[in-house]
């Protein structure tokens, strides 16, 4: 349980693209720190509002694409963060979250008490670009990681699989594993008959296999196209792909070329519509390229659990998603090449009501491990006395 006693300390949280998780971190720290600041390019509020006593220092926004703009935004943000930590926030402790991905390396050139949350492991994620481990950039980042993590005050990660992966850079005993949480804190799924999204998009009576989120090179959405082609004759099953990203044109091209009338493409939904679109899913797809699935856990997995929606995970057998599927029995996890296995799993869930209902219950039970209280547990672990051997 987080303490509410003021402890005479100041902390600045850094995330160039702050979302509900960063808001949760900031609010949790504000319960016990005298001063909490947030350096960010934008604050995306989804549910929980940022406490009014938290100081927000705006820097440049993060851009997803094109690639050159993304790199420029990271570089500019890194410069801003470095200057701000040397000046306005020189006496603050630092809690780094996520973006820019190399931001935590600033602790190598700054004197602050510096901690970080790692949920995308770099340079490992760069393998998706075919960068080899022998590449000079990859090797340099590996060396910097080891130096940075050795100097860090606290290093958090969100799953055992990620901790095992990070152990190549830092002693495993120094890593604190603390799961994150869903946007939704209870099962507020909207019934189909009361869901305008279902009526608008003609989903009544269909078994909806839904992918919703970014469509990038790591998300491997192309696999879903192959599965849809395999199940083209199953008229009740509809594949729905909602989102945006650099691979979107390729996905649309594949659908046209293969004449997949069982795939429905929709644009990224607004925050207001998101609960309705999510509620329309019977099976939620979480997909990661196997080369990076050991180093990441998409937050959409937790949102699906919170609505009691069974999951179709497409990821490696050593990923955290695979461990979730085994432990909570709410999802099936398959290798991308196992198109037959994925198709069989979808058909079985679509046709076996008892099995489907059991997996719904398992999903909802799993969601209890990923609630907002986990933000307070991050702070409790941050404030706990450091062990002698850490």
Q: DSSP assignment of 94-154, as one string?
A: EEEESSSTTGGGGGGS--S-EEEEESB-TTGGGGGGT--TTSHHHHHHHHHHHHHHHH-S-
Q: How far is CA 382 from CA 11, 32, 62, 108, in A?
A: 11, 11, 27, 20
d(CA 124, CA 132): 10
Say what the pLDDT of residue 295 is: 67
Q: Is 257 helix (H, G, I), strand (E, B) or coil?
A: helix
Q: With 0-12 CB in 10 A as exposed, 13-18 as middle and 19+ as buried, what is 222? A: middle
pLDDT in the model for residue 67? 78
Rounded to whole angstroms, the Cα distance separating 306 from 368 reads 8
Quick check: 225 pLDDT over 70? yes
Q: What confidence score (pLDDT) does residue 120 get?
A: 85
pTM, two decimals, is: 0.87
* Mean pLDDT value across residues 162-181: 94
- Which has more confidence, 385 or 327? 327
| Under 8 Å between Cβ of 265 and 241 | yes
- Please report which confidence band the pLDDT of residue 388 belongs to, taking 50, 70 and 90 as the band edges: low
Bridge partners of residue 266, in order along the sequence: 242
Of 11-15, 241-245, 292-296, the range with the lowest mean pLDDT is 292-296
- The per-residue pLDDT for 91 is 95
Of 76, 268, 87, 309, residue with least CA distance to 184: 309
Whether the pLDDT of residue 389 is over 60: the answer is no
The string of pLDDT tens digits covering residues 40-91 is 999 999 889 999 999 999 999 988 777 788 889 999 999 999 999 999 999 9
Number of neighbours of residue 321 by Cβ within 10 angstroms: 26
Cα 302 to Cα 245: distance, rounded to the nearest angstrom? 21
Report the SS3 class of residue 91.
coil
pLDDT at 20 over 80: yes
**What are 40's strand-pairing partners?**
58
Angle of CA points 249, 251, 256, to nearest 5°: 95
Which percentage of the chain shows pLDDT scores above 90? Answer: 80
The CA–CA distances, whole Å, from 27 to 11, 20, 306 equal 12, 10, 22
Per-residue confidence band for 30, with pLDDT thresholds at 50, 70 and 90: very high
Lowest-pLDDT range, 118-122, 280-284, 338-342?
A: 118-122
DSSP secondary structure of 24-81: HHHHHHHTT-SEEEEEES-B--SSSPPPTTSEEEE-PPP--SSHHHHHHHHHHHHHHH
Q: Which residue did the predictor score with more confidence, 124 or 34?
A: 34
Average pLDDT of the residues in 241-264: 94
Per-residue DSSP letter, 268: P
Average pLDDT over residues 340-357: 98
Residue 1: pLDDT band with limits 50, 70, 90: low
Q: Is the pLDDT of residue 348 over 70?
A: yes
- What are the residues facing 211 on neighbouring strands? 241
Which residues, listed in sequence order, are joined to residue 334 by a DSSP beta bridge? 314
Residue 264 CA to residue 281 CA, distance in Å, equals: 13
Residue 6 pLDDT level (bands cut at 50, 70, 90): low
| 87-143 pLDDT per residue, tens | 999 999 999 998 899 999 999 999 999 999 998 889 988 877 778 899 999 999 999
Cα dihedral 222, 292, 281, 209 sign:
positive
Q: What is the pLDDT of residue 3?
A: 55
Number of Cβ within a 10 Å radius of residue 253: 11
Give the C-alpha separation, 106 to 148, whole Å. Answer: 8
Check residue 203 and report its DSSP letter.
-
Instruction: Please tell me the least confidently modeled range out of 114-118, 215-219, 268-272.
Output: 215-219
Reported as a pLDDT band with limits 50, 70 and 90, residue 226 is very high
Average pLDDT over every residue of 224-253? 95
Asked if 198 contacts 137 with a C-beta cutoff of 8 angstroms, the reply is no
3-class secondary structure, 244: strand
The average pLDDT across 326-335 equals: 97
């Amino acid at each position: 349980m987080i303490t509410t006693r003021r402890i005479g300390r100041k902390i600045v949280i850094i995330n160039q693209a702050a979302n509900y998780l960063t808001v949760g971190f900031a609010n949790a720290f504000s319960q016990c720190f005298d001063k909490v600041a947030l350096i960010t390019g934008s604050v995306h509020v989804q549910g929980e509002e940022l406490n009014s006593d938290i100081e927000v220092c705006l820097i440049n926004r993060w851009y997803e694409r094109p690639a050159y703009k993304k790199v420029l935004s990271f570089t500019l943000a890194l410069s801003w963060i470095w200057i701000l930590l040397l000046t306005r926030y020189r006496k603050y402790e630092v809690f780094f979250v996520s973006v820019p991905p190399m931001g935590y390396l600033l602790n190598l050139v700054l004197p602050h008490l510096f901690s970080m949350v790692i949920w995308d492991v770099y340079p490992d994620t760069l393998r998706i670009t075919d960068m080899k481990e022998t590449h000079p950039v990859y090797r340099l980042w590996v060396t910097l990681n080891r130096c940075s993590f050795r100097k860090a005050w606290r290093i958090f990660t969100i799953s055992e699989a990620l901790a095992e992966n990070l152990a190549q850079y830092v002693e495993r005993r120094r890593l604190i594993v603390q799961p994150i949480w869903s946007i939704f804190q209870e099962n507020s799924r909207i019934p189909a008959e009361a869901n305008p999204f279902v009526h608008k998009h003609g989903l009544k009576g269909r078994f909806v296999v839904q992918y919703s989120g970014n469509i990038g090179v790591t998300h491997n959405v192309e696999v879903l196209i192959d599965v849809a082609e395999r199940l083209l004759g199953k008229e009740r099953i509809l594949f729905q792909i909602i989102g945006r990203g650099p691979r979107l044109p390729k996905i649309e091209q594949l659908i046209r070329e293969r004449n997949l009338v069982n795939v429905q493409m929709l644009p990224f939904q607004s925050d207001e519509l998101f609960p309705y679109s999510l509620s329309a899913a019977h099976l939620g797809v979480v997909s990661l390229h196997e080369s990076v699935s050991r180093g990441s856990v998409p937050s959409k997995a937790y949102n699906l659990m919170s609505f009691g929606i069974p999951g179709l995970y497409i990821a490696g057998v050593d990923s955290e998603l695979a461990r979730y599927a085994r432990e909570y029995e709410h999802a099936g996890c398959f290798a991308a090449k196992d198109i037959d296995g994925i198709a069989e799993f979808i058909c079985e869930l679509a046709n076996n009501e008892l099995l489907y209902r059991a997996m719904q219950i398992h999903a909802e039970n799993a969601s209890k491990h990923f609630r907002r209280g986990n933000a307070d547990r991050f702070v409790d672990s941050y404030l706990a006395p450091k062990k002698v051997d850490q």
